[in-house]
Amino acid sequence: MKTLTLLRHAKSGWDDPVARDFDRPLNPRGRRAAATMGRHLRALDMAFDRVIASPAVRVQETLDDVGQGFGRMAPEWDRRLYLASAASLLDVIRECPADIGSLLLVGHNPGLEDLVLMLVPDERGGLRDSVEEKYPTATLAQMTFAVDDWAAVAPGGATLTHFIRPRDVDPELGPEA
């Protein structure tokens, strides 16, 4: 059994005058959402054998803030995760050694959302419907696979066990009116 968790970076600051998208930082709301999600992950007693993350500034800051509530993580920064497609993310997953039981990927949309939709069978009425509706910033999706090796992860082979948005943890982090 393998467990894959996907975390989208928290809300970034579009008002910040940065030259490159890669350098865009989080805004104050995003920082609060990331810290809230970190505390919630700790309350759920989640654990990760390996963390692979996009090196974009907003992802680095998300992990810093998640770490305040969850505990420090030591991510492997992988440039391939920056704005990666679902297919590219799947390649990274399949490269993981078989002895890794629980993997956390931290990155960007639309790749993360597309990956969940690729891996989880389309059965109406479940958590997948919420993913299809919207995968907001600082949201976490967790899936399990009945496989012994990450190389065997295949489309339609996942069970979506968690889809947690910041607003599910703290209603004040819901969409702005």
Q: Which fold has domain 2-169?
A: Rossmann fold (3.40.50)
- Per-residue pLDDT reduced to its tens digit, 82-112: 999 999 999 999 999 999 999 999 999 999 9
- Per-residue pLDDT reduced to its tens digit, 138-175: 999 999 999 999 999 999 999 999 999 999 999 888 87
Instruction: Name, in order, each residue with C-beta under 8 angstroms of 175's C-beta and a sequence gap of 6 or more.
Output: 167
| CB 128 within 8 Å of CB 136 | no
Can you count the helices (H) and strands (E) in the chain?
6, 6
Torsion sign (Cα): 85, 86, 87, 88: positive
Q: What is the pTM of this model?
A: 0.95
